[in-house]
Amino acid sequence: MRLTKYIITSPESDIMPSDIAMKIYGSNYDINVKETCFGIIINGEEEAISELLKEIRAMDPNGIFIKDRGFPPGDPRRCRGRRGGGPRPGFYMIEYESKMLPLISKALASEGETKAVVRPPKKKPLDLEKLEAIITTELS
Amino acid sequence: MAKVIVYPLTSTILADLVERMGHEALVVPTEVRKKIASTSVDSPPLNVTPDDPKKGLKWAAVDVPSGVRGRMAIVGPLIEEAEAAIIVDDPGCLTGCSGCNRTNELVTLLIRTKGIPVLETSYPTDESEAREFVCKIRTFLEGLK
């Protein structure tokens, strides 16, 4: 079965989408590649894709994020070139999450040294009886 | 390996973390792939075929808008397949011209009432929250093994 995957690089990663594309061009796998502004889209047979993804992830384990895509790259039913331009459906979610990718990358990188996160306890709303007592003392 | 449904259903971060930690992420693109490989969808972005609102009746009543039922025809099978779930509360990116808040509400309700382990969290806004976010998800997913 042919799969399509997005490979999205964190904006702070040293790896560029073109680096990943060059690695795939240099590999022996029969895979279609499309470069985009946020990463690349790859399409190929399931076995080849799963092997290749391990190699790609190893380029920057914490800065490369992978997810599935339904339509193959350049599919006329999705491609903006055939639809008169405009944002691609689904880009908004990638754009929204790409702002968070540097934070997630840092969190993944520091996982070994993660200490218990100490957060100040959330403030609870004032107890009704205490509020009544305050009002009584203030107004008396 | 557990099948983990993530919400938002198209989240890169959640799908990646689930796959990274050795589980299978249940996401919408896998269902869309099956759909486009098996049936002809000629008029994007209208990927709903006339049969989908009928399939959606399994999860939503007949008086529910056909858009919700059509979406449920794709999302419903994922919920049925799920063995665990990660829900990000109020992501703020799922409504708008291409989203459907009623479907989102129904999806989260069905996940919460299914009786599977559910992790509810929110997207991080700073480094410490990001660490907590990743740590929570790792702990949750390790508990599923």
| Segment B121-137, tens digit of pLDDT | 999 999 999 999 999 99
Task: Chain B: give the shortest CA distance to residue A35, in Å.
Answer: 17
Pairing of strands A64-68, B118-121: unpaired
Beta strands (DSSP E) in A31-98 are: 32-35, 39-45, 64-68
Q: Which of A77, A94, A107 sits opposite B130 (nearest CB)?
A: A107
For residues A6-18, give the mean pLDDT. Answer: 91
Do B73 and B39 meet the contact criterion of CB atoms below 8 Å apart? no
Please report where in the chains the tokens 């009432």 appear, as a residue.
Answer: B113
pTM to 2 decimal places: 0.84
- What pLDDT digit, counting tens, does each position of B20-31 carry? 999 999 998 888
Cα within 13 Å of Cα(A48), Cβ side = 15
| pLDDT in the model for residue A124 | 81
| pLDDT in the model for residue B43 | 61
Does A117 lie at the interface with B, CB-CB under 8 angstroms? yes
Nearest residue of chain B to residue A7 (CA atoms): B12
In this predicted structure, which of A105-119, B3-17, B115-129 has the lowest mean pLDDT? Answer: A105-119
The structural domains of chain A, with segments of one domain joined by +, span: 2-113
Interchain CB distance below 8 Å, B124 and A68: no
CATH architecture of the domain formed by A2-113: 2-Layer Sandwich (3.30)
pLDDT, greater one: A81 or B1: B1
Task: Chain A: give the shortest CA distance to residue B16, in Å.
Answer: 6
ipTM, interface predicted TM-score of the complex: 0.86
Q: What CATH number does the domain containing B84 carry?
A: 3.40.50
A chain contacts of residue B11, beta-carbon cutoff 8 Å: 67, 93, 97
Among A68, A92, A117, A122, the residue to mutate for chain B (most B Cβ within 10 A): A68
Burial of B11 (0-12, 13-18, 19+ CB in 10 A): buried
Does B7 lie at the interface with A, CB-CB under 8 angstroms? no
* Highest mean predicted confidence (pLDDT) among A71-85, A101-115, A122-136, B108-122: B108-122
Number of domains in chain B: 1
What is the three-class DSSP state of A72?
coil
Query: Is residue B39's pLDDT more than 70?
Result: no
Residue B46 — pLDDT band, cuts 50, 70, 90? low
Q: What is the mean pLDDT of chain A?
A: 86
CA distance B2 to A106: 26
Q: Residue B81's domain spans which residues?
A: 3-142
Query: Is residue A118's pLDDT more than 60?
Result: no
CA distance A50 to A23: 15
Task: Chain A: give the shortest CA distance to residue B32, in Å.
Answer: 5
